[in-house]
Amino acid sequence: MRVKPELQIFPLRLLSEKTAKPMIDEIENLDFVSKVGTRGFSSRDGVDYKVGWIWIEMDSDSDDNNESIEKICQNYIKFGYEIQRGRFTKYRVTTSDYLKGLVKEE
Amino acid sequence: MESRKLYIKSMEKKFKEKPDDRKTQFYNYGTWTQSKRKTAYVEASKKMEAKRGIPGYNPDVGLAQGQRLLMPYQLNHTDYIVDMDDLHFMNNAAMQQIWDDIRRTVIVGMDMAHNILEKRLGKEVTPETINHYLELINHTMPGGAVIQEHMCEVNPELAEDCYVKFFTGDDELADQIDKRFLIDINKQFPEDQAEKIKNAIGKSSYQVVRAPTLVGRVCDGGTISRWSGMQIGMTMMGAYNMAAGEAATADFSYAAKHASVIGMASMMPARRARGANEPGGMPFGVLADCVQSNRLYPEDAGRHTLEVIAAGAVVYDQIYLGSYMSGGVGFTQYASATYTDNILEDFVYYGIDYIKDKYGDFCTVEPTVENIQKISTDIGVYCLETYENYPTVMESHFGGSQRAACISAASGCTTAMATGSATSGINAWYQSQLLHKEEMGRLGFYGYDLQDQCGSSNSFSFRSDEGLPFEMRGPNYPNYAMNVGHMSAYSGIATAPHAARGDAWTLSPLIKVAFADDSLVFDFGHVTDCYGKGCMREFVPAGERDAIIP
Amino acid sequence: MAYKAQFAPGSTIISKNRRKYMDPDYQLKKLRSLSDEDIVLVLGHRAPGEDFKSVHPPLEEMGEPDCIVRELVEPTEGAKAGDRIRYVQFTDSVYSAPITPYQRAWAYCHRYRGIDTGTLSGRQIVEARERDVEKIAKELIETEVFDPARTGIRGRTVHGHAVRLDENGLMFDAMRRYIFDEASGEVKYVKNMVGEPIDRPVSVGKPMADAELEKMTTMFRGDGVSIHEDQEVIDVVNAVHWGRTFGGFKSVNRDGE
C-alpha cells in the first residue's frame, strides 16, 4: 500500500470560515492534490467553526508542489503558519471505523 | 543545546508498494473531509454535534462531511496514525491483552517442591523428571485431568494461550530441559544481562504459569494463583506417583499456593474494594520488568523508559484508575498524552542528550539537592517553553494535566538517568510540578497536584507505613491512589535509571525472565506497536469463546 | 505586626504584576465600566431587578448561638442577608492573559472575605454569597485582571485556554458567549456565563494590544519573559521543594545535612 505524503498547515491563529473556505478550494484544485482534510473547533450551536489544521495529501512531495502550497498560504494567512511534511492523518482503516459501521466490504 | 524536535515529525520514508488488496473496500477516514474522489460515504452534512461530552474538551469537526472528525494521533515511535476512539481500551484488543497477560501470569518456585520430594518423600528429582512434570503440567493447566477418572475437562480451544514454562539460573540444568518449555535466558538476553540474571537467580528453578485469559475474565485476578496452585498440586502427584492426598500433599499445596508463589500484584486494603492480583496492587517495578525493550534494544534507554510509560498509561491510568476505580470514558486522553504524537518522546530524548552533553554519561551525577533541582529545572523549563513556543504542541496537549504529566515525566526520568536513582527521579518529578505551577500560574485538574504537593516529603522517606524505594511503590501507595495522570510516568521513572545503567531488570529478575517469552499473546517488547496493531484490528487476542458459541 | 508580607518573589515584570494583583493594598486599575445590571446579565444568577433568593432568614432575625468565633468574625453582607452561594468563573488564555488561575486564587484569598475558590488549568472559580460575588465579579471584570479577548467568563464548556486565538485575537469559546463587533472593535457578551442568550449585549470593551498585555501578564512564557530571567522565583520554588524533601526525610536534624 503506497502511502502518499502529506503537508500539514498549522496557522498560528484559527482561521475563520471566510478565510479558510476559498483557501481550501484553491488547494483542492491543484492537480497533484488527492485529498484535503481539515480539523478545527466548532461552536456547540453549529453556527461557527474555525479551522485549525489543514492536511493536504499529495501525489508526490516535490519542491514545486510544496511551493505551490506555500504561495497559497502566504496569500491567505497573514499572521504566520507552520508547514510540516510527513504523514498526519489516518491512511488505514482502524478499529473504530469498523465499530462505527463505516467499512463496507464487498 | 539543540533539541531533536521529534514532535515536528517528518516521516520522509518511502513506503513499500504492496498489492492493493483493499480495492473493493471503501470507507471514510475519520479525519478527511473533502476528497476529490468522493465516495458514497462522504455525504454533505456540514455540521455535526460532538457526541462525546467530555467536559472542557471538544472533539471537533471542521468542514464536516457527515462525519464526526477526530484528531488523529500518532503512536510514539511507530508509524501508526489512529483516532482517539481506537485508544479506548474497550475498543482495543491489544490493550485488553496487555493486562490479561500480566494478570494471568503467576511464577511458582520449584525448589520447595523439589525439596519436599527429595527430603520428605525420598524421590529423585532429575532433569528427566522435571521434563515429565512440565509435559504433564501443560496438559493439566489448560484444564486437563490427571489423577481421577471421570473428570470434566476444558476444551483446549478455549485455552490456547495457556501453558507453563520453566527457567533457571543453572546453565547445566537448563541444557537438559525440553526446549519447548524453557525460557532460555542465554538466548533471550544479551550476554551481559544474561550473566547478571543467572547470578541473581542462581541454581533455583521456577515455573511460569499462564492461566487461560478466559479464567481471568469470568473470575478475577485472585483466581489465577488458585487455578495454578490446584493444577500444580495435581501434576506433582501425577508426575511423581504420589498418593492423591497423603500428608505431604499439604506441603505441595502450601508451596504451590502461597510459599513459592510470586504474583504480579498484591492484595489491597479493603477500602479499595478490590481483590488481590488486580492493577492496584502491582508495583511500578513489576510493570517495568514485564516490558522487554531493554533486552531487545539495550542501547536505547529512552525507548525502554517510554515503552514502560506506554504500558503504565494503559494499565494504571486507563484500565485501573479509568475503569476499575472510576469507569466510563473520561481517562483515555490523560493516558494517551504520554504515548502519542512524540511529544514526551522529544522531551525524554532531550533529557538524554542533555545528560550526555553536560555530564558525559548516565549514572554519574551525585544525587545532591543542587543537582536534582538543576536538572529538573533545566528539563522542566525546556518542556514548558516547548509548549509555549510551539502552538501545535500546546494544542495537542490542551489539558493542563496532560502537560503536567509530560513535563514532570521528562524531569523525573532525566534526573533518574543522570543520578542512577529512581528515588532522586521521583523527587525531581515533584520539583518540576512545583516549578510548573509557578511558571505558568496553572497546573492540572482540580486536585491533580494533591500527591505532588506532598510528594517532595515522601520521596526520601522510608517509614513503616508510608515509604518505599520507588521501584516498589505502586498505585496503592497512599497518595498515588487518587489521581490520574501520574502513574504512567511513575513507572517510567522507576525504570529509567535501570535502563540507563544497562541493568538487566528494574525490580525482579524473575519477572523479567518470566516475560522474556515469545509465546505471550501481547508483544511486551514492542508496546506501542502492539497497541497500534490493536488499533488496526490486526491483533488477535486470547480468550475467545468461538468454540462454545453458535 | 513585625512581618511585612512579600506576596511573591522575583524581579521581572511578571513577578511585579503578580505582587500587584495579590496585594490587597494595591487598588486594581479600572479599565472599563459595566453597570450593575450588566454584571447581573452576564452572571445569569438572577434576572435584573429580581430580589436575591434566600437560603435562610437574615442572621439578625435568626438569633445565633453564643460563639466567640461568630463574635469575632463580621459576616459579609450576603451572609447577613441569607443569600444563596453563587459563583463567577473565568478562563484565562495561555496567550498572555493578564492573570492566571493560581494567581486568581492567591489574589482572591488576600482581597476578599467569605469566599471559596477552586483552581484548575482551564478555569478558575470563586464562590460566595450572591450579592458578595456580584461585587467581586464587577471588580474582576472592570479592572486590569480582565482582557476582553484573552479572559472568558465561562460557567461551563470552558475549552479554549490552550487553543490558538482566532483571527481577531480572541480566545476560542465553543458556546460563543461573546462576539467581536468589527465596527466598534469591542467584545460583546451575547450570552451569560452558562451560555444562555441575554436580552441585550453587554460590552466589555476593546481587547488590549499585545504590547500592552505583555506588560500586564503574570505568566512566564518561552516567547515572552522566561522564568530563567527571574532566578529568585526558581530559588523560592527550590527552597520549598528542599524544605519539604528534607522535612520528610530527617526533620529532626535542623542543620539540613
> Got the DSSP string for B449-470?
THHHHHHHHHHS--BTTB---G
Residue B169 among the catalytic residues: no
Q: One of B334, B354, B387, B490 is an active-site residue; which one? A: B334
Q: How far is B313 from chain C (nearest CA, A)?
A: 21
Distances (CA, A) of B493 to B287, B288, B305, B384: 12, 10, 8, 19
Q: One of B25, B34, B148, B389 is an active-site residue; which one? A: B148
pLDDT tens readout for residues B67-126: 335 678 999 999 999 988 899 999 999 999 999 999 999 999 999 999 999 999 999 999
Residues in a beta bridge with B209: B106, B164
CA A32 to chain centre: 14
Residue B447 among the catalytic residues: yes
Helix, strand, or coil here: C57?
coil
Residue in chain B nearest A52 by alpha carbon: B62
pLDDT tier for residue A105 given thresholds of 50, 70 and 90: low
Residues in a beta bridge with B108: B207, B261
Q: Do A34 and B36 touch (CB under 8 A)?
A: yes
Q: Do C172 and A13 touch (CB under 8 A)?
A: no
Q: Give me the long-range contacts of C177-186 (CB less than 8 A, separation at least 24).
A: C177/C152, C177/C153, C178/C148, C178/C152, C178/C204, C186/C148
Q: Taking CB atoms and an 8 Å cutoff, what residues of chain A touch B329?
A: none
Nearest to C164 among A14, A44, A48 (CB): A14
Which is nearest to B510 in space by CA: B234, B105, B219? Answer: B105
Position B26 pLDDT exceeds 50? no
Query: What local confidence, expressed as pLDDT, does residue B70 receive?
Result: 65
Position B12 pLDDT exceeds 60? no
Q: Which of residues 123-182 of B touch A (CB under 8 A)?
A: none
Q: What are phi and psi of C199, to 5 degrees?
A: -65, -35
Residue C53 CB contacts under 8 Å (≥ 6 apart), including other chains: C46, C83, C84, C130
Query: What local confidence, expressed as pLDDT, does residue B4 receive?
Result: 77
Burial class (CB within 10 angstroms; exposed 0-12, middle 13-18, buried 19+) of C66: exposed
Residue in chain B nearest C232 by alpha carbon: B438
CB atoms inside a 10 Å sphere around CB C69: 6
Of A46 and A87, the structure prediction assigns the larger pLDDT to A87
Q: Do B29 and A90 touch (CB under 8 A)?
A: yes
What interface predicted TM-score (ipTM) does this complex get?
A: 0.95
Query: What local confidence, expressed as pLDDT, does residue B55 receive?
Result: 23
Q: Taking CB atoms and an 8 Å cutoff, what residues of chain B touch C119?
A: 442, 446
Position B131 pLDDT exceeds 60? yes
* Residue numbers of chain C with a pLDDT score lower than 70: 1, 251-257
Which range, A93-97, B157-161, B193-197, B335-339, has the best average confidence (pLDDT)? B193-197
Q: Do A49 and B62 touch (CB under 8 A)?
A: yes
Strands B205-210 and C178-181: unpaired
Q: Do B82 and A20 touch (CB under 8 A)?
A: no
Q: Which of B57-66, B146-155, B287-296, B485-494 has the lowest mean pLDDT?
A: B57-66
Instruction: Compute, in degrees rounded to 10, the torsion defined by CA atoms B424, B428, B431, B433.
Output: -140
pLDDT tier for residue B176 given thresholds of 50, 70 and 90: very high
Query: What local confidence, expressed as pLDDT, does residue C255 receive?
Result: 60
Helix, strand, or coil here: B442?
coil
Of B279 and B68, the structure prediction assigns the larger pLDDT to B279
Q: Which of residues 127-186 of C touch B (CB under 8 A)?
A: 156-159, 161-164, 174
Distance CA C134, CA A31 (A): 59
A19 touches chain C (CB under 8 A): yes
Distance CA C133, CA C139 (A): 10
Query: What local confidence, expressed as pLDDT, does residue C16 receive?
Result: 98
Q: Taking CB atoms and an 8 Å cutoff, what residues of chain A touch B395?
A: 52
Distance CA B486, CA B317 (A): 8
Residue B400 among the catalytic residues: no
Q: How far is C164 from chain A (nearest CA, A)?
A: 5
How wide is the angle at C-alpha B296 spanned by C-alphas B293 and B299, nearest 5°?
A: 85
Which is nearest to B159 in space by CA: B548, B544, B550? Answer: B544
Helix, strand, or coil here: B523?
coil
A45 touches chain C (CB under 8 A): yes
Contact B390, B3 (CB under 8 A): no
Query: What local confidence, expressed as pLDDT, does residue B243 receive?
Result: 84
Residues in a beta bridge with A104: B26
How wide is the angle at C-alpha B113 spanned by C-alphas B110 and B118, nearest 5°?
A: 120
Distance CA C120, CA B412 (A): 23
Residue in chain C nearest B466 by alpha carbon: C248
Query: What local confidence, expressed as pLDDT, does residue B36 receive?
Result: 39
Query: What local confidence, expressed as pLDDT, does residue B92 receive?
Result: 96
Q: Which of B3-17, B177-191, B313-327 has the lowest mean pLDDT?
A: B3-17
Contact A59, A34 (CB under 8 A): yes
Query: What local confidence, expressed as pLDDT, does residue B52 receive?
Result: 32
Position B465 pLDDT exceeds 90? no
Q: Which of B147-156, B300-309, B516-525, C171-180 has the lowest mean pLDDT?
A: B147-156
Q: Do C158 and B56 touch (CB under 8 A)?
A: yes
pLDDT tens readout for residues B516-539: 999 999 999 999 999 999 999 999
Contact B498, B505 (CB under 8 A): yes
Q: How many CB pairs under 8 A join A and C?
A: 40
DSSP symbols for B63-75:
S-SSS-----EEB
Q: Taking CB atoms and an 8 Å cutoff, what residues of chain A touch B72?
A: 88-90
How wide is the angle at C-alpha B99 spanned by C-alphas B95 and B104, nearest 5°?
A: 140
Position B152 pLDDT exceeds 90? no
DSSP symbols for B107-129:
EEESHHHHHIIIIIT-----HHH
Q: Do C165 and A43 touch (CB under 8 A)?
A: no
B296-317: buried (b, 16+ CB within 10 Å) or exposed (e) per residue? Answer: bbbebbbbbbbbbbbbbbbbbb
Q: Do C220 and B440 touch (CB under 8 A)?
A: yes
Query: What local confidence, expressed as pLDDT, does residue B249 receive?
Result: 86
Q: Do B400 and C103 touch (CB under 8 A)?
A: no
Position B1 pLDDT exceeds 90? no
Of B145 and B190, the structure prediction assigns the larger pLDDT to B190
Instruction: Compute, in degrees rounded to 10, the torsion defined by CA atoms B378, C160, C43, C116.
Output: -30
Distance CA C121, CA C159 (A): 10
Query: What local confidence, expressed as pLDDT, does residue A75 receive?
Result: 96
Give percent of chain A above pLDDT 90.
61
Q: If you average pLDDT over every residue of chain B, what do you get?
A: 87
Residues in a beta bridge with A11: A81
Give percent of chain B above pLDDT 90.
73
